[in-house]
Amino acid sequence: MHPRSRAFRANAAKALVDPGLQAALGKLKAGFRIKRAAAVARLPEFEALRDAGKAIKDHTLAHLDAYLETFETRAIAAGGQVHWARDATEARAAVLAICRAAGARTVTKGKSMVAEEIGLNEHLEANGLTPVETDLGEYIIQLRHEGPSHIVVPAIHLDRHAVADAFRAAHRERAPERDLSEPRAMLDEAREELRRHFLAADVGITGANFLIAETGSTAIVTNEGNGDLTQTLPRVHIVVAGIEKVVPTLNDAAVLIRLLARSATGQEVSVYTTFSTGPRRREDLDGPEEFHVVLLDNGRSAMLGGPFQDMLRCIRCAACINHCPVYGTVGGHAYGWVYPGPMGAVLTPAQVGLAEGRELVEASTLCGRCEQVCPMRIPLPAMLRHWRERAFERHLVPTRQHWGLMVWGFAARRPWLYHTAMRTAAWGLAWLARGSGGLRTLPGIGGWTASRDLPAPAGRTFRDQWTQRLRR
Amino acid sequence: MSPRTAILDGIRRSLKRGALPPCEYDRLNRRLAAPDTAVVPVRSGGTHAEKVERFAAMVVEMQASLDRVASAPAVISAVAAILAAFGLPPSVVAAPALEDAPWAGSGLTVRFGAATAADPVSVTPALCGVAETGTLVLLSGPESPTTLNFLPDLHIAVVAASAIVGSYEEAWARVRARGALSRTVNWITGPSRTADIEQTLLLGAHGPRRLHVILVDDRQPGA
C-alpha cells in the first residue's frame, strides 16, 4: 500500500458527498459506540483494568529489548523460527523467502494490519503467489482491490449492494441470477468459496494481537474462525507482528483481552482467542509443520523514549476511530494510509513521514473523545499537538499559516499586545457587521466564510466586560 | 549489522540506555516465572457452585446452546439427542480423548481423529470452562486435534463441572500445571460470527455455525 495522506483534503471533500459512505458511517453511532458503552457499564472493574493494562504495557515497553529476546528464545525452544525485519522491505522479503522455501503457491491470510502496512499481498502477487484474504471484510476489499477503511471492520465503507457486486464479479462460475440481496446469502457464498482456499493453501499468514514472552506464543483474537483455519490447515504458519505486541505473561494477556473486545465491538470477549506455540508436535494429528514469526520494527523503536512512546501501548481496538467525529464524517480511506482516525493520525507520520502525514495531524478538533475511550489511556490529542509543533518547526505548514502562527505566538506572549489586538478586532468586526449579526465575507479568511458566516463579536471583549462587572 | 542487532540497539538507543544488567534480567525472569494477577472481575468469584451457574448462564448469553447432564455416560445420549433435535444424521467425528466413552449402543457412528471438511459434527473435550465469560479452554494434542474445533458445522464441547473456574488467570494456572504448552490453546466463546457486512451480526462465518456445550455435573453431592 502506498501512502496517499497528502491528498487528505481532496479525499475528505469527496467522502463528504458520497451518500453510500455517509450512510455506512451513520451506522457507527448506533453500532459500536452504544455496544461499547453497554459492555463497559457491565464490568465495574473496567477502569481498574485500564490502569492495569497501561501499567503492563508501560513496563514492557521500558524493557522491550529484554522481552523480545525472551520471546525469541522461548519461541525457538518450542520449535518456532523468529525473523527480524527493520522495515517493510525486509519483512516482505522474509515472508516471501519462507513461502519459496516451502514451495508455496497459494497463501491464505487472516486479517493483519501489519501485513497491510508492509504491502504484503502486492509483493506476494508480484512474485507469483496467490494470497487470499479470509476475514470476510478483508476478502471483500481484496476483491475490490482497495485498502481497509477501518482496522477492525475493513469493509465498513461498503453497503450490501457493493458487496453483492464484488461477489458477482469474482465468483463467475456461480449462477448470475442468484439472490444476493441479504447479507446471509453473501456470507454463505463466501464461506463456501473460502473453504476451498483454506483446504488448498500451502502457507497460512496471520497477524498477532499479542506475543507472549513467558511461553514464546503468539495470540490472535477473531470472531469468524478464519484465523484458526488459516493457521491450522496449511503446512506452514507465518505470523507477522509489530515488536510492540509483546507482553510478559499469559496473565498479562488476559488483562488486555478483557479490554480489547469490549472496547472494539462491545463484546464481552471475542469468539476465538487462540494461543499458538511452535509447530505441531510429533504426535499431533493436525497443525502446521513450520511456525515462523516475523518481528517488524518499521519506525516503532524510534517512537520509544519520546513523546510518541505511549502510542506503542495501542492494542488496535479502534475505539478511538469509532468515536472520532472526523473519522465519522470522512471515513477511513480519506486518511490515505492503513491506520485511520486518531490512532492513524499519530501513527502515519511515524511510519511514512511527517511531510506525507501532516494533513492528518491537523484533521482533528482535539475534542478528546479518543483519549476518553482509549482502553490503554493513550493521550492521543497531546500527541497530535506534538506532531503539529514538529510540523511548524520543520516549516512543513503552508507559509501563510506559518507566519500567522508566528504573529499569533508573538502577541500571545505579550498580554497587553494580545489584549489590545483582541479589543481592536472585537470592536472592528462588530462595526463591520453592524446590524446584520454576522459577516458574509472577510478578506484573509475566505476559507471560513465560503461555507458559513462569521458570527459578529459583541463589540467588547469578555475581559473588558468582566473587569467592568467587578468594578460595580 | 543484522536486523536483529539493529532493532535491539535501536530500542536501547531510544530508551537512552545500554543492554540491561544481568540483575535486571533476573528480575524480569522472576516476573515471568510467577505471573501475577492484576485485576479480576468480581463476577468471576464466589463459590464453585456459583461459578458453575455463571458459566452456564454466560454460555447461553454468548449464543451457544447448553445441556446439563448428571454423569459422564449421559454425555453420549445427550449427543445423540442433540443430533436428532437438529435433524442431523447420527454420525460424528470425535476427539480420541473420548474413545473410552460408552458410544456402543448409542446408535451413533463415530470416528476418532482429526476433522475433515466432510465432517458435519465434532465432539471434543474441554480442559476447563471460564465462568467470567462462558469461555471454553481447549488444548491441541493427539487426543484432541484442533481441526475438530473449527471445520464442522456443529461443534459439541464437553466440559466437567469440576473443571469450571472463575477467571482467565485460574484457567492459565490449570494449563500451566500440565507442563509445556500444546501447539494451540483455544479459548472459544460462542459460535463463529461476523458483522463485516453493514455491521449486521450473522452467526456461522468460517468456523462452526453452532456451538453446543454439554456440562457434566461430576461433583460429589454437597461439594
Q: Do B199 and A43 touch (CB under 8 A)?
A: no
Question: Which cell numbers in the block locate residue A383?
Answer: 500527541
Q: Do A271 and B38 touch (CB under 8 A)?
A: no
Closest CA to A334 of A116, A19, A21: A21
Dist CA A161 CA A170 (whole Å): 14
Determine the pLDDT at residue A178: 96
Determine the pLDDT at residue A361: 96
Nearest to B146 among A155, A232, A301 (CB): A232
Same domain, A221 and A171: yes
Report the DSSP pairing between strands A210-212 and B135-139: unpaired
Question: Which cell numbers in the block locate residue A409?
Answer: 505566538
Residues A71 and A213 sit within 8 Å (Cβ to Cβ): yes
Same domain, A346 and A360: yes
Question: Which cell numbers in the block locate residue B57?
Answer: 448462564
Count other C-beta atoms under 10 Å from residue A105's C-beta: 13
Number of domains comprising chain A? 3
How much is the average pLDDT of A153-158?
A: 95
Rounded percentage of chain B residues whose pLDDT exceeds 70 = 98
pLDDT above 70 for B223: no
Task: Identify whether A157 is part of a domain.
Answer: yes
Q: Is B206 on the interface with A (CB under 8 A)?
A: yes
pLDDT above 80 for A59: yes
- Chain B residues whose CB is inside 8 A of the A199 CB are 117
- Identify the three-state secondary structure at position B91: strand
Phi first, then psi, for residue A450 (nearest 5°) are -65, -35
Determine the pLDDT at residue A453: 82
E strand spans, A226-271: 236-242, 246-247
Residues A227 and A272 sit within 8 Å (Cβ to Cβ): yes
Closest CA to B36 of A47, A54, A252, A60: A252
Residues A109 and A320 sit within 8 Å (Cβ to Cβ): no
Dist CA A40 CA B201 (whole Å): 20
State which residue of chain A sits closest to B38, comparing Cα positions. A52
* The residue to which cell 502562527 is assigned: A405
* The residue to which cell 487470499 is assigned: A132
Phi first, then psi, for residue A363 (nearest 5°) are -80, 60
- Chain B residues whose CB is inside 8 A of the A197 CB are none
Task: Identify whether A1 is part of a domain.
Answer: yes
Dist CA B220 CA B223 (whole Å): 5
- Chain B residues whose CB is inside 8 A of the A284 CB are 140-142, 145, 183
Determine the pLDDT at residue B38: 86
Determine the pLDDT at residue B72: 86
pLDDT above 90 for A151: yes
Give me the domain span that covers residue A115.
Answer: 43-301
* The residue to which cell 498477532 is assigned: A208
Nearest to A301 among B11, B133, B176 (CB): B11
Listing DSSP states for A181-233 in one string gives: -SHHHHHHHHHHHHHHHHHH-SEEEE--SEEETTTTEEEEEESSSHHHHHHHS
How much is the average pLDDT of A130-150?
A: 96
Residues A327 and A364 sit within 8 Å (Cβ to Cβ): no
Same domain, A329 and A261: no
Determine the pLDDT at residue B220: 64
- Chain A residues whose CB is inside 8 A of the B196 CB are 135-137, 140, 153-155
Q: Do B114 and A49 touch (CB under 8 A)?
A: no
pLDDT above 70 for A163: yes
Predicted confidence band of residue A431 (pLDDT cuts 50, 70, 90): confident
State which residue of chain A sits closest to B196, comparing Cα positions. A137
Same domain, A98 and A111: yes
Nearest to B202 among A63, A184, A199 (CB): A184
Helix%, strand%, coil% for chain B, nearest 5: 35, 25, 45
Find the CATH number of the domain harbouring A137.
3.40.50.10420
Residues A435 and A429 sit within 8 Å (Cβ to Cβ): no
Same domain, A9 and A54: no
Phi first, then psi, for residue A149 (nearest 5°) are -105, 5
Same domain, A59 and A15: no
The per-residue pLDDT for range B55-77, each reduced to its tens digit, is 999 999 999 999 999 998 899 99
Question: Which cell numbers in the block locate residue A407?
Answer: 504573529
Same domain, A14 and A84: no
Q: What residue type is A156 in one-letter code? A: I
Mutate which of A199, A272, A300, A309 to disrupt the B interface (most B C-beta within 10 Å)? A272
CATH architecture of B49-216: 3-Layer(aba) Sandwich (3.40)
Same domain, A142 and A286: yes
Determine the pLDDT at residue A443: 74
Q: Is B45 on the interface with A (CB under 8 A)?
A: no
Dist CA A220 CA A231 (whole Å): 10
How much is the average pLDDT of A308-314?
A: 98
Closest CA to A427 of A470, A456, A396, A401: A456
Q: Is B183 on the interface with A (CB under 8 A)?
A: yes
Same domain, A330 and A270: no
Closest CA to A223 of B185, B181, B193: B193
- Count of pairs with CB atoms under 8 A, one residue in A, one in B: 263
Same domain, A77 and A113: yes
pLDDT above 50 for B5: yes
Q: Do A269 and B117 touch (CB under 8 A)?
A: no
The residues, any chain, with a CB within 8 Å of residue A96's CB and separated by 6 or more, are A123, A124, A127, A129
Predicted confidence band of residue B153 (pLDDT cuts 50, 70, 90): very high
Phi first, then psi, for residue A420 (nearest 5°) are -60, -45
Determine the pLDDT at residue A320: 97
Reduced 3-state DSSP string for B178-211: CCCCCCEEEEECCCCEECCCCCCCEECCCCCCEE
Q: Do A155 and B6 touch (CB under 8 A)?
A: no
pLDDT above 70 for A63: yes
* Torsional class of A113: left (φ above 0), alpha (ψ -120 to 50), beta (otherwise): alpha
How much is the average pLDDT of A338-364?
A: 95
Task: Identify whether A200 is part of a domain.
Answer: yes
Determine the pLDDT at residue A437: 75
Mutate which of A33, A83, A210, A228 to disrupt the B interface (most B C-beta within 10 Å)? A228
The per-residue pLDDT for range A452-465, each reduced to its tens digit, is 888 888 888 888 89
Task: Identify whether A406 is part of a domain.
Answer: yes
Query: What is the 8-class DSSP label of residue A457?
Result: P
Report the DSSP pairing between strands B91-94 and B109-112: parallel
Asked if the interface predicted TM-score (ipTM) of this complex is over 0.85, the answer is yes
Q: Across the strands, what pairs with A283?
A: none
pLDDT above 80 for A30: no
Residues present in chain B in total: 223
Instruction: Note which residues in 82-111 of chain B have CB less than 8 A from chain A.
Output: none
Determine the pLDDT at residue A455: 83
Determine the pLDDT at residue B221: 57
Determine the pLDDT at residue A435: 73
Nearest to A255 among B39, B62, B184 (CB): B39
Same domain, A163 and A239: yes
Mean pLDDT for all residues in chain A? 94
Q: Across the strands, what pairs with B216?
A: B69, B160
Name the residue with higher pLDDT: B199 or A244.
A244
The per-residue pLDDT for range A388-409, each reduced to its tens digit, is 999 999 999 888 888 988 999 9
Dist CA B167 CA B165 (whole Å): 6
Predicted confidence band of residue B222 (pLDDT cuts 50, 70, 90): very low
Q: Do A272 and B187 touch (CB under 8 A)?
A: yes
Same domain, A117 and A186: yes
